[in-house]
Chain A
């Protein structure tokens, strides 16, 4: 039941882009075409889940026992940067086809605040629907995966909208990013309907 709540809450109610405002830059940057949006979502999904696993372990078995949680930010960002590099190298060797699909997005992900945001959230935020408030490792992974699914969902929906938007005749001052952001606003209004579904 907890897992179900975590998944619904992370994908719809607290959608990472539309309710938490994380990862907006790549969200606006690569959502022009449906195919690139899908590729980016998959890459983000992969990195967020992996990064959460590693940072969760580092936080609970390294930073907390030694009482140096104030180094959290610096440790997490270094781990994420290294991880992204590693994923890139491994992917190149092991699965060139997957690398072709995700490769160009990987360097961008280091500075995607969604990754660092989720990693920090998982170890610091208290969750209402989890007994005790803090997530355990399995819950953290489910949360991270579901959150990135929510990212993908928002991204794909938005890319679909933008493909149509590109063909529309909009006033000059609205062209490009402004009208895109306004449409995200309307999308966010729609997602607000989910709030209250999970306490």
Chain B
């Protein structure tokens, strides 16, 4: 498999949100605006790339019986690292995303890639896989965030285009998250998956 394909695979064919249906919780909870979706995606990307690399490096020496606990510890370490860094350098983003930063630990995407890819491939390939899947996740979160922001607050990346701030509020709140995701999946099925 070419190196480039490793990255593009995660974007479309194995898109974590629309195809693999992984990591639904942050997808729904943090996409109240495009910027929030983007930051959550990048945070996950950070953990995904580092944990993929670390796990592919240590996988040969980890006995089979304890591999899941070891992976979880490794992932939790990178998540905590991310928490500390965000508190120090982007405190406002950290506050907005709140609970969902520590919850990256239990994001099935991260453990899933560790188990399915990183433990069987080299460090470089695993890093690229992490980038691909992470970008795919970031992309779908940003798109979902953008749609909800346009409908819910009438703005794009914080730039308000309807003048005044009365969008359809339901789209910023919980029901809108489910509805938008559902309809985006329908569109994805209809136009992308077919090819």
Within 8 A of A (CB), among B143-185: 170, 173-179, 181-183, 185
The answer to whether A77 and B182 touch (CB under 8 A), given A117-B99, A189-B175, is: no
The answer to whether A23 and B25 touch (CB under 8 A), given A71-B80, A189-B170, is: yes
Which residues on the A side are within 8 Å of B106 (C-beta)?
Answer: 77, 110-113, 115-116
Which among A25, A180, A181, A182 has the greatest number of chain B C-beta atoms within 10 A? A181
Which of the residues A73, A78, A181 comes within 8 Å of B182, measured between beta carbons?
Answer: A181
Which residues on the A side are within 8 Å of B80 (C-beta)?
Answer: 70-71, 73-74
B96 contacts the other chain (CB 8 A)? no
A residues near B (Cβ < 8 Å) are 18-25, 28, 70-74, 77-78, 81, 110-113, 115-117, 120-121, 124, 172-174, 177-182, 184-186, 188-189, 191-192
Which of the residues B29, B73, B189 comes within 8 Å of A78, measured between beta carbons?
Answer: B73
Interface of B is mostly: helix
A185 near B176 with CB under 8 A, answer yes
A116 near B103 with CB under 8 A, answer yes
B83 near A113 with CB under 8 A, answer no
Interface of A is mostly: helix
Q: In whole angstroms, how far apart are the Cα atoms of A77 and B110 in the complex?
A: 14
In the complex, besides A21-B26, A73-B105, A178-B185, 20 extra interface pairs with C-beta distance below 8 angstroms are: A22-B103, A23-B25, A25-B21, A25-B24, A28-B21, A70-B84, A74-B77, A77-B76, A81-B68, A113-B106, A115-B106, A117-B25, A117-B103, A174-B186, A177-B185, A180-B182, A181-B178, A185-B175, A188-B177, A188-B178
Which residues on the B side are within 8 Å of A174 (C-beta)?
Answer: 186, 189
Bitwise, B39-74 to A at CB < 8 A (1) or not (0) is 000000000000000000000000000001100110
B7 contacts the other chain (CB 8 A)? no
Which residues on the A side are within 8 Å of B107 (C-beta)?
Answer: 113
Which residues on the A side are within 8 Å of B21 (C-beta)?
Answer: 25, 28, 177
B28 near A21 with CB under 8 A, answer yes
Which residues on the B side are within 8 Å of A172 (C-beta)?
Answer: 189
